[in-house]
Amino acid sequence: MLEPYRYFAGKYSLEFHVFELSGQDVQEFLQKQSTYDFKALANQEFHLISFLDPQGRLEFYCWALKGSSSSILLIPHKLRDTALARLERFLISEDVIIEDKGPENWTFIFGPKSQDYITPESYKGSMLEESSILIRNYDDASPDLISNEEFELWRLLNGWPDFSGNHFSSELINNSRLFELSLSLNKGCYPGQETVLKINSRRGAAYSEVLIQTAKETFKGPIFIFGKKIGDIENCFHWKGSYFSSAKLLRDFRVADLKIDFTQNSEEIEGFVRYYPLLSSSFESKSHELFYEAMDCFKKDDLEQAEAKLRLALDLDPQFADAYESLGVMLGRLERYQEAIDLMDQLSKIDPRSVLAHTNKSLFLMKLGKIDEAEEQKSLATVKSFQRFGDEARLKEELQKQQQLKEDEWVKRESMFAQVLEIDSEDTLANYGIGSIAVEKKNWNKAVGHLEKVLKQDPGYSVAYLSLGFAYKGLGEKLMAEKIWREGIKIAAQKGDLMPANQMQIEIQKL
């Protein structure tokens, strides 16, 4: 699958339509016209950029390659005419010459080892979130070629745009993944900037792209919760035992790992919201993936694979303490004691507070008959244990401080709401405020009294149903909690308050 490329390197070739821009004003022109901070690029670097109309809608996107004397734009074929018209329309008096080079083949090499392939003619940048280089007409045999199917899957999992331009949509960039991939929020003016920043400062786009993970396949089209549309699914693909759907989802539901129970074509589907990119490029994340895979191999007694994965994890993240410790224990069981001791020494260097580094080393030395050295390591383990107890005491003290700050905040808020209730004991906002604080403090009876008063005064106060359900659950009255939440779901759905409705549905399932 994709792991060899993610852990090492892979290549993929694409044909683009190529414009070469030359002249004294090229950098200034691209800086003012595109969404990306082009001046931040160094020579021989590339980046995905977008061009907008004055209303903030996408006109085209491309890959910009910055050279010392000229810059190159790699345009998806379907966007060539639009791109040329857009560039020429805003080219007024600048010293910029646009030369149409026609179609050319370019190769992306990406993954942790991609930098091994750098040449004087290559450009450095990012592709599919991975560290990458870009080379014209590359024909070397290595690294391994990524198949079309693998590349397309990777593109979809990480939410990158279509490289052909076939599925391009002239929409607000805020609604698109290109907002994250091709836009610099802090750069200077460009066409459409005012609209883009205004939308971003007002809670972001109403609908924007995320992934929804499900156990069953979904289809292109709208999805609903409580009869209200919450988004549109654009495509669905299978990955490691789950289905992932690219979806334009309503703002209130774009919460990482949120469980949503939606309907599509009258079918109930359970899903979880996942953010792009699904496949992380960070060495630390990949190292943890390998660590858990190694532990699975270890459980199956496949020690050779477990060792290989742990060593690769350490190659990607040389500071990964758990990987050193686990590999050392594994080698100790295989009676490769000196190798295990060397790993414990490395663990001590990266984590000087590690008790296990000295405890394990003591055991390995004992196996080699080095009794005095083993006793010395045992003593060091004891010293480190006392140091750790001190750290834990300081942590406990810090947690107590945080708890005190929280309690002080409760007192402040309760005092404010109590003053309102002295004037009007039926005030819904004040009763809800004190009731919700009582839920936080697990003062269930007090919470019930105030929250029931809220719903008596205002039966449409949807979030009060959620809090009151928690209060009854805290009292052990689960049937009452379910009844309250079911009533709340109806009210919230009628008002369009989908977030509390969805949360109450989740809580009912937990019961």
270 and 311 assigned to the same domain: no
Residue 193 lies in a domain: no
Residue 399 lies in a domain: no
81 and 173 assigned to the same domain: yes
Q: What is the DSSP letter of 425?
A: T
With pLDDT > 70 as the criterion, what percentage of the chain qualifies?
99
What is the rounded average pLDDT of the residues 68-75?
A: 95
Joined tokens for residue 492: 């919230």
Residue 113 lies in a domain: yes
Kindly report the three-state secondary structure assignment for every residue of 446-500.
HHHHHHHHHHHHCCCCHHHHHHHHHHHHHCCCHHHHHHHHHHHHHHHHHHCCHHH
Residue 480 lies in a domain: yes
Per DSSP, the three-state class of 77 is: helix
What is the rounded average pLDDT of the residues 149-157?
A: 96
165 and 240 assigned to the same domain: no
25 and 174 assigned to the same domain: yes
109 and 8 assigned to the same domain: yes
40 and 67 assigned to the same domain: yes
Joined tokens for residue 435: 């009731």
Element (H, E) at 501: helix 498-510
Most confident option among 244-248, 382-386, 493-497: 244-248
User: Which CATH number is 430's domain given?
Assistant: 1.25.40.10
pLDDT value at 340 more than 70: yes
Residue 194 lies in a domain: no
Distance CA 328, CA 152 (A): 39
> What is the number of other CB atoms lying within 10 angstroms of the CB of residue 346?
17
Residue 418 lies in a domain: no
What is the rounded average pLDDT of the residues 97-120?
A: 95
Mean pLDDT of the chain: 92
Counting the structural domains of the chain, the total is: 4
Residue 381 lies in a domain: yes
Domain residue limits at 213: 206-274
User: Which CATH number is 110's domain given?
Assistant: 3.30.1360.120
177 and 40 assigned to the same domain: yes
User: Which CATH number is 245's domain given?
Assistant: 2.40.30.110
Residue 403 lies in a domain: no
Position 1: which residue type?
Answer: M
Task: Identify the burial level of 404 via C-beta atoms within 10 angstroms of its C-beta, where 0-12 means exposed, 13-18 middle and 19 or more buried.
Answer: exposed
Helix 462-474, helix 428-440: angle, nearest 10: 30
pLDDT in tens, 412-463: 888 888 898 888 888 999 999 999 999 999 999 999 999 999 999 999 998 9
> What is the number of other CB atoms lying within 10 angstroms of the CB of residue 418?
12
pTM of the complete model = 0.80
Which is it for the CA torsion 164, 169, 174, 177, positive or negative?
negative
256 and 372 assigned to the same domain: no
265 and 292 assigned to the same domain: no
Q: How confident is the model at residue 235 (pLDDT cuts 50, 70, 90)?
A: very high
Calculate the alpha carbon distances from 411 to 23, 144, 439, 489 in Å. 66, 63, 14, 31
